[in-house]
């Protein structure tokens, strides 16, 4: 599969048609999806949408920087008229009544939306095994998980179904599957991309971002998606903080290496791959700065209080009456209980129970408020660290892609796989996973983090790294 930049360049110059690009994607899905279960549905309008792009180009119109680029959406982002189930049974019959802001912006830039990707139910999970529609499979080894929650999106790009897929990242759901599938995954700064039309999971943590093969492609699609939106009051205007714009290479870049992220007991091979990546920066003239993030060890605990709390609140709307799956009981309460009991899977119910408990009267001071204070301390750690460095380099995931079923019955070990990713969401900073090698034929991800609204430094560091390595060029 070509990069998005190449497809758009060729389509804009008339060298190829949008229709041919979309057909190539649909053919790849046709032959590969049965095995991988990456997509839950293909949009019937894709070919017609591509032809419309071709017609407009033939008429001399500028259709935008993503001309003819096939894009996969995560199943929690609204595309008007298309099924949108969030991987859940409770929305198995739900069709989106309007377009999400990202949907509109991608289309306005000439992209063609081709299908919706499998995911952990309502984006809770790290393996896609919590999907009501069965797990997605890792294209590097189909007996293994692709990561989650945006696992289907990651597989779609890694398997060559599309050059770009969107994911949402609340605690790592873009970066972790990107790492496990050997591609690029970016969680932008909180407020960078509008969530209007994204099914809310944890409103103070959620961000939409891209999966791509190259950092250039991620930057391109971000240029289209980002920026203020009156439908999401948390969004910020373009351009804020893009200090590193147009600086290239690693010379003079200050790369922070947090000692708390390289602890004894972590997978030695992952540690080595990540430290080798850091050495590439050093060789090219970057300054390597040892840093400390002392509150990091409490991040996971804080996340698994705040996240379920907000999720329990956001998921209250799925009551079996307003929309989605309904199972009628004798009383109103029984209808709620049956609809939610049958419509939600086990993990979703676990989080609702947990979130309701930690925010209930008498407990919220001890749990929710305390976790919020820890969150402030985590943010301060990063503020301190970024006085001394421009980007932070760390692993994305503590383990390689594991076997399907291995952690499914043990929620705590599943939660532990988020240990390196949740801090960026709690601190609202941008973070990106870039492929940095293979261990036993399975991909490893390098996580880069930067100051709020300084995605530019991530692009700079990521582009430099991809220019001196070829891990991202290998295909599953």
Of positions 32, 68, 87, 125, contacts ligand GLN by CB under 6 A: 125
Q: Tell which residue, 184, 91, 164, has the closest CA to residue 436.
A: 184
Of positions 76, 131, 136, 170, contacts ligand GLN by CB under 6 A: 170
The nearest distance, CB 424 to ligand GLN, in angstroms, is: 10
Sheet holding 70-74, edge to edge: 39-42, 112-117, 70-74, 164-169, 207-212, 184-187, 431-439, 442-450, 391-395, 254-258, 287-291
Segment 364-423, which members bind ligand GLN (CB under 6 A)? 418
Q: Which is nearer to ligand GLN, 64 or 151 (CB)?
A: 151
Binding segment (CB under 6 A) for ligand GLN, from list 37-45, 55-63, 167-175, 330-338: 167-175
Q: Is 87 in the site for ligand GLN (CB under 6 A)?
A: no
**CB distance 255 to 261 below 8 Å:** no
Binding segment (CB under 6 A) for ligand GLN, from list 60-68, 88-96, 110-118, 165-173: 165-173
Confirm whether 360 is a catalytic residue. no
Rounded CA-CA distance 100/77 in Å is 6
Q: Is 310 in the site for ligand GLN (CB under 6 A)?
A: no
Catalytic residue among 127, 131, 136, 149: 149
Binding segment (CB under 6 A) for ligand GLN, from list 124-132, 256-264, 374-382, 404-412: 124-132
Q: Which is nearer to ligand GLN, 124 or 255 (CB)?
A: 124
Q: Is 123 in the site for ligand GLN (CB under 6 A)?
A: yes
The nearest distance, CB 17 to ligand GLN, in angstroms, is: 36
Rounded CA-CA distance 422/74 in Å is 20
Site string for ligand GLN, 134-153 (x = CB under 6 A): ---------------x----
The nearest distance, CB 439 to ligand GLN, in angstroms, is: 22
Q: Is 207 in the site for ligand GLN (CB under 6 A)?
A: no
Binding segment (CB under 6 A) for ligand GLN, from list 47-55, 164-172, 246-254, 404-412: 164-172
Q: Is 447 in the site for ligand GLN (CB under 6 A)?
A: no
Q: Which is nearer to ligand GLN, 16 or 375 (CB)?
A: 375
Rounded CA-CA distance 408/433 in Å is 24
Q: Is the dihedral of CA 242, 248, 249, 254 positive or negative?
A: negative
Residue nearest to ligand GLN (CB): 173
Rounded CA-CA distance 210/28 in Å is 20
Say what the alpha-carbon torsion angle 217, 218, 223, 228 is, to the nearest 10 degrees.
160
**CB distance 39 to 49 below 8 Å:** no
Q: Where are the beta strands (DSSP E) in 60-206?
A: 70-74, 112-117, 164-169, 184-187
Site string for ligand GLN, 322-361 (x = CB under 6 A): ----------------------------------------
Q: Where are the beta strands (DSSP E) in 259-387?
A: 287-291
Q: Is 454 in the site for ligand GLN (CB under 6 A)?
A: no
Q: Tell which residue, 230, 290, 302, 226, has the closest CA to residue 260.
A: 290
The nearest distance, CB 345 to ligand GLN, in angstroms, is: 13
Cβ-based burial of 254 (10 A; exposed 0-12, middle 13-18, buried ≥19): middle
The alpha helices in 228-297, defined as continuous H runs, are: 268-283
Q: Which is nearer to ligand GLN, 118 or 126 (CB)?
A: 126
The nearest distance, CB 307 to ligand GLN, in angstroms, is: 5
Q: Is 173 in the site for ligand GLN (CB under 6 A)?
A: yes
Q: Which is nearer to ligand GLN, 433 or 466 (CB)?
A: 433
Residue 230 CB: number of other CB atoms within 10 A? 9
Q: Is 307 in the site for ligand GLN (CB under 6 A)?
A: yes
Catalytic residue among 25, 74, 126, 423: 74
Of positions 135, 151, 171, 435, contacts ligand GLN by CB under 6 A: 171
Binding segment (CB under 6 A) for ligand GLN, from list 121-129, 207-215, 260-268, 380-388: 121-129
With a CB cutoff of 8 Å and minimum separation 6, the contacts of 89 are 132, 325, 342, 343, 344, 345
Confirm whether 399 is a catalytic residue. no
Segment 228-287, which members bind ligand GLN (CB under 6 A)? none
Structure token pair of residue 53: 């792009």
Segment 414-433, which members bind ligand GLN (CB under 6 A)? 418
DSSP per-residue codes, 54-89: HHHHHTT----TTTT-EEEEETTB--TTSB--TT-S
Q: Is 124 in the site for ligand GLN (CB under 6 A)?
A: yes
Catalytic residue among 168, 173, 194, 433: 173
H helix count then E strand count, the chain = 15, 11
Q: Tell which residue, 345, 455, 333, 460, has the closest CA to residue 411.
A: 345
Residues comprising the chain, all counted: 476
Report the catalytic residues.
74, 149, 173
Q: Which residues bind ligand GLN (CB under 6 A)?
A: 123-126, 149, 168-173, 201, 307, 418
């Amino acid at each position: 599969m070509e990069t998005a930049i190449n497809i758009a360049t060729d389509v804009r110059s008339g060298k190829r048609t949008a229709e041919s690009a979309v057909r190539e994607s649909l053919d790849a899905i046709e032959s590969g999806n049965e095995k991988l279960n990456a997509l839950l549905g293909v949009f019937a309008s894709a070919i017609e949408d591509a032809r419309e792009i071709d017609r407009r180009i033939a008429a001399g119109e500028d259709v935008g920087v993503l001309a003819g680029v096939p894009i996969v959406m995560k199943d929690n982002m609204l595309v008007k008229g298309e099924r949108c189930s969030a991987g859940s049974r409770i929305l198995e019959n739900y069709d989106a009544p309007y377009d999400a802001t990202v949907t509109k912006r991608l289309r306005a830039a000439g992209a063609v939306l081709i299908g919706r990707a499998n995911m952990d139910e309502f984006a809770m999970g790290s393996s896609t095994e919590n999907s009501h529609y069965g797990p997605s499979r890792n294209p590097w080894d189909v007996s293994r998980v692709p990561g989650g929650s945006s696992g289907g999106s990651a597989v779609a790009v890694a398997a060559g179904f599309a050059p770009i897929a969107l994911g949402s990242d609340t605690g790592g759901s873009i970066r972790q599957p990107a790492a496990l599938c050997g591609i690029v995954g970016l969680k932008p700064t909180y407020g960078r991309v509008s969530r209007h039309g994204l099914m809310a999971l944890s409103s103070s943590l959620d961000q939409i971002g891209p999966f791509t093969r190259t950092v250039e492609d991620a930057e391109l699609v971000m240029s289209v998606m980002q920026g203020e939106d009156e439908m999401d009051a948390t969004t910020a205007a373009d351009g804020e903080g893009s200090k590193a714009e147009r600086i290239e290479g690693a010379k003079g870049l200050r790369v922070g290496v947090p000692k708390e992220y390289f602890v004894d007991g972590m997978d030695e091979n992952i540690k080595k791959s990540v430290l080798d990546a850091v050495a590439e920066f050093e060789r090219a003239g970057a300054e390597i700065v040892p840093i400390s993030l002392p509150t990091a060890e409490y991040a996971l605990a804080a996340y698994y209080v705040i996240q379920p709390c907000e999720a329990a609140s956001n998921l209250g709307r799925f009551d079996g009456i307003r929309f989605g799956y309904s199972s009628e009981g004798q009383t109103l309460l029984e209808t709620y209980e049956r609809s939610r009991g049958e419509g939600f899977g086990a993990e979703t119910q676990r989080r609702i129970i947990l979130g309701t408990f930690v925010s209930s009267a008498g407990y919220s001071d001890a749990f929710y408020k305390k976790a919020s204070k820890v969150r402030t301390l985590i943010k301060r750690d990063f503020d301190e660290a970024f006085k001394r460095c421009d980007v932070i380099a760390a692993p994305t995931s503590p383990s390689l892609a594991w076997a399907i079923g291995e952690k499914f019955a043990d929620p705590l070990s599943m939660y532990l796989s988020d240990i390196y990713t949740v801090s960026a969401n709690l601190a609202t900073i941008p973070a990106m996973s870039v492929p940095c090698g293979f261990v036993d034929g399975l991909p490893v991800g390098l996580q880069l983090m930067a100051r709020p609204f300084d995605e530019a430094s991530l692009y700079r560091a990521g582009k430099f790294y991809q220019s001196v390595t070829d891990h991202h060029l290998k295909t599953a």
